Structure 1
Amino acid sequence: MFQIGDFVIYTLDGSVGTVIEVDQDRCHVVWDDHFVSWEKHELLIRDESVNLNGA
């Protein structure tokens, strides 16, 4: 499960973003280009190389 503050990668194009809200099956993500969108969990992977929150 994703948490607010997680760094994520969008699997379809490799975009990197930060989770700002979590819903049952979607995450609200602000991307590096400052675009914001809701994405399904299955299209995101946690970027473990930069997550420092211990999750």
Structure 2
Amino acid sequence: MSATDKAKNKADKVAGKAQEKFGQATGNEDREAEGRARQAKADAKDAGEKVKDTFRH
């Protein structure tokens, strides 16, 4: 996995966590769910990159 991809995935995960917490604090369930979805998407991308790395070696 390239360092750029890893950084982007980490940034998405952090942004998703912040969005989730903001949704919890304001009682906005849609924003909270969007934050969780963004985190899950970042985790899936991270896993996909790891699989690609495994097959490259």
Do the two structures share a fold, i.e. TM-score over 0.5?
no
More strand by share: 1
TM-score bin, normalised by smaller chain: under 0.3
More helix by share: 2
TM-score by length of 2: 0.22
